[in-house]
Amino acid sequence: MDAFYAAVEVLDNPELFMKPVIVGGGRERGVVSAASYEARRFGIHSAMPIAEAIRRCPDGVFIPPRIQRYREVSAQIFSIFQRYTPLVEPLSLDEAFLDVSGSTMLFGTAEEIAVRIKKEVSREIGLTASAGVASSKLVAKIASDLEKPDGLTIVAPGGEEDFLGPLPVSKLWGVGPAARHRLNLMGITTIGGLRALSRDFLESTFGKQGTYYYSACRGRDFRPVEPERETQSMGHEETFSRDLTDPTQLHRELLSLAVRVAERLRRDRVCGKVLTLKVKYGDFKQITRSTTLSQATDDSAEILRQALILLRKTEAGKKPVRLLGISCAGFEAENSAQLHLFAVDQGVGKRKKINQAMDLIKERHGATSILPATLLGG
């Protein structure tokens, strides 16, 4: 999708049409999640600090993200994809791979299918999409980005090397700033230039990544489209308007994160066994601390307890904290976890009932209808 979050905001509020719309977090410390093409003319892009976006475009329209709304529109878009193939692999709310190799007898060539999907997304939802059609995921992804907005790029089988050759090496997945800098020092700026290097040289210089570069610059990518790919982790993080040092504030923020992560686990009917705490200090240094629980959980109290233990293994409080995050992995179905022998005595059953009651209240009356007292204003 083209500038998806910003495009949804314009869709819902036509008065924003042709205005520089920037979707992102708080003005002091947040980052840009999406920028309309009008905003991009000012050099604004995703992951840019909101403060810098304001400096570049003080008259821009700055809007906080509405993730639930974006999920609703995303579901409508994916339902259109599913009309043409069951082999749909989501990359995010606004991007997916489609394997249409088994659909051409019904719907025409891959190019014709791409055209039909783009028209249906435009007609039924009111948004534009850009598509790349190719024989591999890697090349299709690169092609989809080249003619935005509302673009369509076709790379015929056998034409991968000619297509990739003139493009900058940064277009390849896995070529980050450090690798790009090393390649530039060798005089390699394009994918075609990278292709001139031998496999032995790439492997000796970049290790296993060099093997990938050798295949990628030739458009070789044999990964299948995987529609059933499972979520590997669930988490939330928060960047603060001011660096935090007070232990009470840090505890409060961890509680808020633990509640949100636990609610998401219960909504997906899973429990997490691996808990990770993310801390970014005021100097932008970032660390993570992880633990594996003896019993998988979806309970905010247990998640908070473990997060506080992990927090003691950091310099939080001694050093100002800019960001905190909690994530869970190692999922088990909610009913598959082994029960404690003395679950009732330990309060596990009581906590489960409390969580179920809170979830029901929030479902009926909204996300802020019931909260731990610590999270109430004041």
Query: Active site residue: 9, 52, 72, 95, which one?
Result: 95
The predicted-structure confidence for 90-124, as pLDDT tens digits, reads as follows: 988 999 999 999 999 999 999 999 999 999 999 99
Of 260, 270, 337, give the one whose Cα is nearest residue 303: 260
pLDDT at residue 8 above 90? yes
Residue keyed to tokens 């988490």: 235
How confident is the model at residue 58, as a pLDDT? 95
The predicted-structure confidence for 302-337, as pLDDT tens digits, reads as follows: 999 999 999 999 999 899 999 999 999 888 876 554
List of E strands, the chain: 21-24, 32-35, 61-63, 88-92, 95-98, 131-133, 152-154, 233-244, 270-281, 286-297, 321-333
Range in 2-11, 83-92, 170-179 the model is least confident about: 170-179
**47 in Cβ contact with 32 (< 8 Å):** yes
**Residue 95 backbone dihedrals phi, psi, to 5 degrees:** -150, 140
- Asked about 95 being catalytic, the answer comes back as yes
